[in-house]
Amino acid sequence: MRYAPPLLEIDVIGACAGLLVCAAALWLWWRQCLVMQHELTEARQQIARLAASQQSLRDAERRRIARDLHDDLGQHLLALGLEAGTLARQHPALRPQLARMEERQQQATRAMRSIVHDLHAEALESGLEGAVQQQIAEFTQLSGIRCRLDAAPGAFAATPSGGMDNVVYRVLQESLSNIVRHAQASEVCVAFCRQGRSINLTVRDNGVGLPRQQALDGGRRRHGLRGIAQRVAEAGGRFDIASTPGAGTALSMSFPLP
């Protein structure tokens, strides 16, 4: 006569087998999550490296264009001004017209120098921290708006490389320019801090703020914020905006460090 295990023993064995199956399924799910998380991290890092590489190529092209403008167009404008001055001395009757020509030549020269400056951020040659300090000083001097830099300890310890430093600098430049055009602010705070493998930038003003609907949709429809958001996204970063009508605006951006 064969032994028949009690029903309770069969139930315990079945429950244990079920638990083992569930544990194995959970372990496989957990392992798959780790793999997916690793792949996602790798993909983000690859996007950041690709964005930095593309930015480096764009920076090189900007420097070439800036150099060509300065060396070629600059010389032509200089020659035009000299010729206008010579003609004015030789033909006194034409001096009023030639004076206007010289004035326009000087305006064109100033515009060209401004374009060259925007194309080629020479300030970055001294590092991101120095470039930021210089940009803030120039902003205060030209706009009359008080601007302070609040850099957390170690914020610039690992300077972004591979073109990312230029992205951060350009975004700051555009943010400050946007404040001058639209914010009607009297004070601005530029804050930098490090968080893991990212460098965070916050630009806060005490201006008029954005209308409620524009604040809700991220302010990307107007006020030049679309270009800022796009530049941050192309670099693999994150962009956020907080604004209240009459209470100023805060732009928060995070950039991955290659």
Instruction: Using pLDDT thresholds of 50, 70 and 90, give the confidence band for residue 89.
Output: confident
- How many structural domains are present in the chain? 2
Look at residues 119, 135, 168 and tell me which one is the last residue of a structural domain. Answer: 119
Answer yes or no: do 155 and 189 share one domain: yes
Answer yes or no: do 104 and 131 share one domain: no
Look at residues 119, 138, 164 and tell me which one is the last residue of a structural domain. Answer: 119
Answer yes or no: do 194 and 80 share one domain: no
Answer yes or no: do 198 and 112 share one domain: no
Return the SS3 of 152. coil
Amino acid 254: pLDDT: 94
* 204-250 pLDDT per residue, tens: 999 998 875 565 455 555 557 888 888 898 888 999 999 888 889 99
Domain residue limits at 182? 122-256
Instruction: Using pLDDT thresholds of 50, 70 and 90, give the confidence band for residue 165.
Output: confident
Answer yes or no: do 67 and 150 share one domain: no
Query: Shortest CA distance to 138 belongs to which of 152, 158, 117?
Result: 117
pTM above 0.85, yes or no: no
Answer yes or no: do 143 and 162 share one domain: yes
Query: Do residues 186 and 244 make contact, with C-beta atoms less than 8 angstroms apart?
Result: no
pLDDT reading at 4 higher than 70: no
Share of the chain above pLDDT 90, in %: 19
Q: Phi then psi for 231, rounded to 5 degrees? A: -65, -40
Amino acid 83: pLDDT: 82
Answer yes or no: do 136 and 243 share one domain: yes
Answer yes or no: do 138 and 239 share one domain: yes
In-domain check, residue 98: yes
* 94-113 pLDDT per residue, tens: 888 888 888 888 888 777 77
